[in-house]
């Protein structure tokens, strides 16, 4: 979980965070497997830390419904069509990998949000100064 930034590698949600569109459901992190254990066993391969990954309980559940819901698909497609080319490319890579890669910004945010209160205030003050528009 430390290696994965204490976030679900599939959806990017951290422990205790709520899911988009589902504010009452708080994420609980679990250990998932990149390659299912059954498939490893049939190959005689070991299930070790390289095969483990942080997944929230929701993403670690077996796929409940393999039949796509056409209404949901249309909603997703409409949003995808409004995205920039860069965002489409990023989304494509996440879907192809089955994992959400985290940007430098995401990784620094993960570190910053667990700083002590005083350090966090210093960082906010620094950002307020250094991110102001230049004239
Ligand atoms: Zn997840």
pLDDT tens for 59-98 read 888 655 555 556 688 888 999 999 999 999 999 998 898 8
pLDDT tens for 93-127 read 988 988 888 788 888 888 888 889 999 999 999 99
Domain boundaries along the sequence of the chain: 1-64
Q: Cα of 118 to ligand 1 centre, how many Å?
A: 31
Q: Cα of 74 to ligand 1 centre, how many Å?
A: 22
Q: Cα of 121 to ligand 1 centre, how many Å?
A: 30
Answer yes or no: are the C-beta atoms of 58 and 12 closer than 8 Å. no
Q: Cα of 120 to ligand 1 centre, how many Å?
A: 27
Q: What are phi and psi of 120, to 5 degrees?
A: -60, -40
CB within 5 A of ion ligand 1: which residues?
A: 8, 10-11, 56, 59
SS3 state of residue 119: helix
> How far is CA 59 from each of CA 29, 53, 62, 91, 119, rounded to the nearest angstrom?
9, 11, 8, 17, 34
Reading the block at residue 36, the tokens are 């299912």
pLDDT given at position 70: 63
For the segment 34-39, the average pLDDT, to the nearest whole number, is 81
Q: How many residues does the chain have?
A: 135
pTM above 0.95, yes or no: no
């Amino acid at each position: 979980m430390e290696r994965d930034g204490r976030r679900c590698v599939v959806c990017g949600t951290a422990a205790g965070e709520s899911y988009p569109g589902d504010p009452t459901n708080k994420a609980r992190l679990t250990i998932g497997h990149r390659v299912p254990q059954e498939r490893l066993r049939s190959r005689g391969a070991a299930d070790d830390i390289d095969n483990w990954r942080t997944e929230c309980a929701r993403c670690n559940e077996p796929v409940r419904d393999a039949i796509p819901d056409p209404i949901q698909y249309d909603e997703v497609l409409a949003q995808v069509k409004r995205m920039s080319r860069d965002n489409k490319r990023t989304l494509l890579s996440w879907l192809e990998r089955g994992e959400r890669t985290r940007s430098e910004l995401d990784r620094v945010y993960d570190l910053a949000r667990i700083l002590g209160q005083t350090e966090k205030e210093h960082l906010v003050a620094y950002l307020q100064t250094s991110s102001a528009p230049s004239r």
